[in-house]
Structure formats: structure tokens, C-alpha cells
Amino acid sequence: MAPRSRRRKHKKPPPAIPMIEIPPTEVSPVSPVLSKPGPSIDALGFISLDNNVPGLSQLILQKLNMKNYEEYKLVINGGTPVSSFGFQCQQEMFQKMEDTFRFCAYCKVLPHGLSNCKVLRHCKRCRNVYYCDTECQRSDWPAHRKVCRELRLVAVDRVMEWLLVTGDFVLPSGPWPWLPEDIKNWDTWFSMRGLQLESTLNALLGSHSMTMLWASLGRPRPDPDVLHGSLKRLMTDVLSRPLTLGLGLRTLAIDVGKAGGSTLHVVGASHVETFLIRSGDYDELGYMFPEHLGFRVIMVGVDVATDLLQSSSSLSLEPGTIQLSGHRALYHDFWEEQIETGILAHPDLVAAFHPGFHASPGLMEAWLPTLLLLRDYEIPTLITVYSQQELEASLQILVNLDTHIIACGANPFASLKPEQVYSNPNKQPVYSSAYYIMFLGSSPCQLDMKQLEEKNKHDFSVIEPSLY
């Protein structure tokens, strides 16, 4: 935590904010660095599934043969084998978990609440929502028709994502042949990769692994252009985080050429950022800054995956290298134990991907010490959110905390992969890191919300994915 001399209390507590329902370069492994245990942000999000469909979180645990969320987390972290719960591998467990997201999208009845003569059947168009009978499906169609087409993309992406899990889909990589300042969004990035990208995708479409993937499902394989679009969406989902970090470094004019390398912290990191992370996933950040003298990317969160728990070092990095590591801790505890003691250097940039502190008082309470710390130590900070509604709610909180908002708006490197809100399947799909907020320290002359919206109105446009 920041010393008393550098911390300021609120002049008044933040007002209530409307609740919104939201659903690497190789490093030699060393002994894990653990910190004080803390409340699980992921657990709060998991339990919030019950807000829309009462009993859904417990149904998921029952289907996984687990007593509570902590057992699920132990399996994900590698502390308990999946065989203890009757599964042969984690992939089988994930498939079982996905099967539990089944309930009538109209009347919200769960499978165990159906009479013996009924069974949940999915929409044949999108395969992503379920109904207990044709009457519910007809009644729900006015709402479902608005999202059915996008949810079909979700279904295809969910299948194709296994190619990332198995390692059959290797993203094109290598130094950028264009000037970094010319790569402003996905359109320019795709153009830059050009023939290399097309060659990679075409080879995968014709591969044995692609054939076996769809054959195992027992349903027709989509047309090549559908699969091609899915692979490109998945690619943006993987690369969105490193390129969004690069956007933060650019916008905040952070010097990446300083001696010893630059340090980036990803706070509130969980399995989403760390479970399937691979060597090379953050190489694109390095290509965005070809003259960088090293990037040290440290993931900090109470749910960081075990495979990423590695010791970080404050020693100078080799120019052009990227070091990934993880620490299990709440960020303000990590700061007190690693930064204030001088074990690790102060960060040049801190990023939080979908912190969700706008969603509930519990999450806001967990994030408040970290937000105040970042403000008081004047650490350049980047936050991403899923939607404009979240953007406005999060901005209001940060304005109330007297943070100095530097920039906010639509993220040109947002993921183009649509994400279904499982507990509310007919809600418009969202896109990871669709919007960003950047702040630095505090400001006595902070703009109010209306002034912020006027200042950034040209950035508040809705992301329109173009990879259908």
C-alpha cells in the first residue's frame, strides 16, 4: 500500500453506480512466488451467474462433481488432478462445463426442472440457445432474432478454438515489414501480414487436424470462408492483449528504449490471461517497438495459472527480449511485498483487462486499494472494458476517485471474436477489450462526465466486427 504521506482519502464516497451484468518468450521455470491469499475475483463472477438464472452456478458444480468453486480453481491451477472428479483430461472437463450452460432462454427452466416428456433443444440456426418447447422458442424469437447470426459465429469459434488449445493453430509471426506507426488497427495489421497470413490459414484449413476436428462433431463442416473468418477472429483474440498494451505505451508516450528494459504489470490477471499462454504470445508487442530494450511483463492476480508462476527479476533484460512471469496476490499486497521493498522495479505501465469494478460493490471494494495506489503513485494505467455502457460506468467511478483521465474510447485492437453472455444468451454478444481508459495520477481540474463524453465523442463509436 502507498505510504500515508502519499495516499489521500476520498472527499466523499463514490456514489452508487448502476450494476451491469457481464459475464511470450520462453522463461526458465523456477520455484513459484506466492503471496498472501485473497478473495477470488473469479469466484464472485462465477456466483453472479445466478443473478439471471437462479441455481446455475450450483448446477455447473454438480455436473463437474465438485463441491465448490475452490475445487474447480484447484484443478485449473494444477493442484488437483482432473481424474479425481472422473475426467480423463481438462478438455473433457471443459466440455462438460460447457454442456451445463443449458436452460430455456425464454422461461429460464434448468434441465432438472423439465417434465419427463420434455428435453432442451438448441436453436438450429445458431446452436447457442436452448428451449424447452416450441412455444417458448416462438415467444423468444423477437429477442433472439437480433443476435442469432452473431451467436452462430460464437458456435463456430468455440469449435475452432480447440486448435489453439491443441497447438495445431500457430499464429503467423516475425518482425513487421511495415513501419510500426502505419499499423493503426486490425485492417492494417492484416494487410501487413498479407501472404504469410493467407498461407498459414490455408494450410490449416487443409490439414488433417481440421478434418478430424469437424468429423468428431458429427455435423457438416462449414464452408472455407466461414472457417477462414473464424481463424482470423481467434487470431485477434490472442493478439488483442499485447497490441492493446502497445497502444497504451504509444498513447502515454512511454519510453521503451530506457536502459535495463521496461516493466509492464497486468493486474487482476486470471486464467483468461494466463492459463493457455504460450511462448511467443507477446512477441507482437516487441515487433510493435522494434528498438525496445526488453519488456518484463508480470501478471499479478489471485487466480494466475500455476504454469506462469515464475520469479521476476529486476536485473536488466537483453535488448529485444520479452520475459513473462506471474505472481499470485492482490496487487496492493504485491506492491507492498515486491515493489516497496525494492525487490522489483516500479512499473512503466499497469494494465487491467476487464477489471469489472463497476459491476458490484464487492468487486469495487476489492479494487479500490489498487486504484488508489495507481492514482497516488502516478503510475500510467490502462483499463479495458467490454462495452460503451461499461465504459461510461467505469469512467464515472474513476472521475469520482479524482483520477486524471488521459484518453478513452474504442480500441482499434479489440478482439473481433464475439463472446456470448451465457447467463443471458440473448444479450448482444460482447468483444474483449472493446474500449479502453487510460489515466495518470490525479487532477484537481478533472473534467466531468459530460465534458469527457464531448471530448471523446468521436471515439465512442460502436465496434462493428467485419470478419463474418
pLDDT per residue as tens, the chain (468 positions):
333 334 443 333 343 333 333 333 333 333 333 333 344 445 655 665 566 566 777 777 877 888 877 787 777 666 677 777 777 776 666 666 666 667 899 988 887 778 766 788 889 999 889 999 999 999 999 999 999 999 999 989 988 988 887 788 989 889 999 999 999 999 999 999 999 999 999 999 999 999 988 887 777 899 999 999 999 999 999 999 999 999 999 999 999 999 989 999 999 997 777 766 776 889 999 999 999 999 999 999 988 877 777 666 667 788 999 999 999 999 999 999 999 999 999 999 999 999 999 988 888 999 999 999 999 999 999 999 999 999 999 999 999 999 999 999 999 999 999 998 877 888 899 999 999 999 999 976 655 556 555 655 544 433 333 343
Reported residue count of the chain is 468
Q: What is the model's pLDDT at position 418?
A: 95
Burial class (CB in 10 A: 0-12, 13-18, 19+), 443: middle
Q: What is the model's pLDDT at position 250?
A: 96
pTM, full prediction: 0.78
Q: What is the model's pLDDT at position 434?
A: 97
Q: What is the model's pLDDT at position 452?
A: 58
Q: What is the model's pLDDT at position 134?
A: 92
Q: What is the model's pLDDT at position 99?
A: 62
Q: What is the model's pLDDT at position 188?
A: 97
Yes or no: say if 292 and 318 are a contact pair by the CB < 8 Å rule.
no
